[in-house]
């Protein structure tokens, strides 16, 4: 619940029923998202907020902002231009599909979103997020680009997708996602994103550990 403490949180952060808003209900500017999470960190608890204690009961792993989505869309669109194919973009392990929903208005190809619904999380999976294993969906759709955000802690599936040579965008925190995967031994580009924020980050002290990583990336292959 929002606490009525002097100077914080500000009105827009809470609903009329005194719950913290769903920060993924719509896209907000990066600075606004940052100040929201500083408040959550000071006044509540970031992990609880990101594990459903918010107005929508939403689970949040990567935290989106207008700038982050723009950055990601630019990366994907540039790859699509270089590849020159019209195959869909595929988001695997897509969870509640919010990333695909935000991206689809800004990416020049169709985006398909799948998730196997492992059941470890209380994620509200919409019907349009196809219930499908990540490797099977790569095989089924033959995508131009695969996007994967917050691969689970013990997963090694991302590495298998990278081994299939498809251009892959991996988003997450290397201390908390796919920690035993050998995929980072393979060539990749770390984007040092200015706008990547995650549920395990420290907002007040600005210690941000999430990033965007590119594998089998066309610009890198073409030199």
Ligand X SMILES: C[S@@+](CC[C@H](N)C(=O)[O-])C[C@H]1O[C@@H](n2cnc3c(N)ncnc32)[C@H](O)[C@@H]1O
Q: Work out how close the CB of 176 gets to ligand X at its nearest, in angstroms, rounded to a whole number.
A: 9
Q: Work out how close the CB of 178 gets to ligand X at its nearest, in angstroms, rounded to a whole number.
A: 10
Question: Which of residues 83 and 130 has its CB atom nearest to ligand X in the complex?
Answer: 130
Residue number with the smallest Cβ distance to ligand X: 95
Does 134 participate in binding ligand X (rule CB under 6 A)? Answer: yes
The span of 10-18, 68-76, 109-117, 184-192 binding ligand X (CB under 6 A) equals 109-117
The span of 43-51, 79-87, 113-121, 205-213 binding ligand X (CB under 6 A) equals 113-121
Following DSSP, what letter does each residue of 147-213 receive, concatenated? Answer: EEES--TT--HHHHHHHTT--EEEEEETTTSSTT--GGGS-EEE---SS-EETT-BTTTTB--EEEE
Place of tokens 């995929």: 183
Assess contact for 167 and 152: CB atoms under 8 A: no
Assess contact for 147 and 76: CB atoms under 8 A: yes
Does 14 participate in binding ligand X (rule CB under 6 A)? Answer: no
| Choice from 38, 115, 173, 201 touching ligand X (CB under 6 A) | 115
Does 94 participate in binding ligand X (rule CB under 6 A)? Answer: yes
Place of tokens 């995967």: 181
Cα 115 to its chain centre, rounded Å, is: 13
Does 157 participate in binding ligand X (rule CB under 6 A)? Answer: yes
């Amino acid at each position: 619940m929002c606490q009525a403490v002097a100077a914080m949180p500000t009105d827009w952060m809470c609903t009329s029923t005194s719950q913290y808003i769903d920060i993924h209900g719509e896209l907000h500017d990066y600075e606004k998202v940052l100040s929201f999470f500083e408040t959550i960190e000071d006044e509540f608890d970031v992990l609880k907020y990101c594990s459903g204690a918010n107005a929508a009961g939403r689970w949040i792993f990567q935290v989106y902002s207008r700038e982050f989505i723009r950055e990601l869309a630019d990366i994907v669109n540039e790859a699509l231009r270089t590849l020159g194919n019209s195959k869909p973009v595929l988001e695997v392990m897509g969870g509640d599909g919010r990333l695909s929903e935000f991206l689809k208005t800004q990416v020049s190809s169709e985006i398909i979103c799948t998730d196997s619904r492992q059941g470890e999380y209380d994620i509200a999976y919409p019907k349009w997020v196809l219930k499908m294993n990540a490797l099977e969906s790569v095989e089924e759709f033959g995508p131009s680009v695969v996007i994967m955000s917050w691969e689970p802690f013990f997963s090694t599936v991302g590495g298998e997708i990278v081994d299939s040579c498809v251009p892959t965008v991996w988003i997450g925190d290397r201390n908390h996602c796919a920690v035993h995967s050998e995929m980072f031994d393979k060539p990749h580009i770390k984007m040092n994103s200015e706008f990547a924020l995650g549920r395990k980050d420290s907002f007040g002290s600005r210690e941000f550990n999430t990033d965007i990583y590119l594998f089998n990336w066309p610009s890198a292959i073409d030199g």
